[in-house]
Homo-oligomer: A and B are copies of this chain.
Amino acid sequence: MNYIKSIITACALSLIAYTNVQAQTADKNSNTKTEMKRTGSATFIFGKETPWEDLGDGVKRQILGYDGQLMMVKVQFEKGAVGKVHSHYQSQCTYVASGKFEFTIDGVTKVVSEGDCLFKTPDLVHGCVCLEPGVLIDTFSPMRHDFLKK
C-alpha cells in the first residue's frame, strides 16, 4: 500500500513540476513577443519617450502606433535630404506636418508644405526631396513589418 502511495505522490510531483516548466516557457515566449513587437504598439505612445532611428543622410524616424493592418511613422528630414524613389505593396498616406517637400509620385512632381497630404496606392513609384527642413507623418496599410527590428 505504501508503495502505491509513493508512486502516486511521485506522479503528482512530476505533474506539478511539468506544469511549472510549461508556464515559465509560456511567459518567456510572451515576453519575447512583446519585446519583438510583431503584433502591435502600445495604446498611448509619447513622442518624447519614443526612440529615433537615424537612417543617415539627414533622415531619421520614429515608429509610432501600429497593428498588423495600420502603421504610423514620423519621419524628420534635413534640408536636401532625399526619400529615395521606391514602391511597395502597402497603401501609404503622408501628412506634411512641417517643412517643404518636392514629391514625385507616378511621374508627377509637385511641391507640398504643412497641411498637405500625399496618397500612394499600392505599387505606385514615389520619392521626395526636402526643400525646407520638416516632418512627414507616414501611414501604411498593412503595416511595414520591414520597419520592425529583427
Once A64-B95, A95-B137 are accepted as A-B contacts, the answer to whether A119 and B40 lie under 8 Å apart by CB is: yes
Are A70's CB and B70's CB within 8 A? Answer: yes
Which of B64, B67, B94, B95 is the one whose CB lies under 8 Å from A74?
A: B95
Kindly state the interface size class of chain A when it binds its partner: 35 or more
Which of B74, B116, B119 is the one whose CB lies under 8 Å from A47?
A: B116
Which candidate, A15-23, A26-34, A77-85, A101-109, is the interface stretch facing chain B?
A: A101-109
Spell out A's residues near B (CB within 8 Å).
40-48, 64-67, 69-72, 74, 91-95, 97, 103, 105-106, 108, 110, 112, 114-121, 124, 137, 139-142
Given contacts A45-B117, A69-B69, 18 further A-B contacts (CB under 8 A): A41-B119, A46-B112, A46-B115, A46-B116, A47-B117, A65-B93, A65-B94, A65-B117, A65-B118, A65-B119, A66-B119, A67-B121, A70-B141, A72-B95, A72-B139, A93-B139, A97-B97, A137-B137
The 3 closest A-B pairs by CB, nearest first: A47-B115, A65-B119, A64-B117
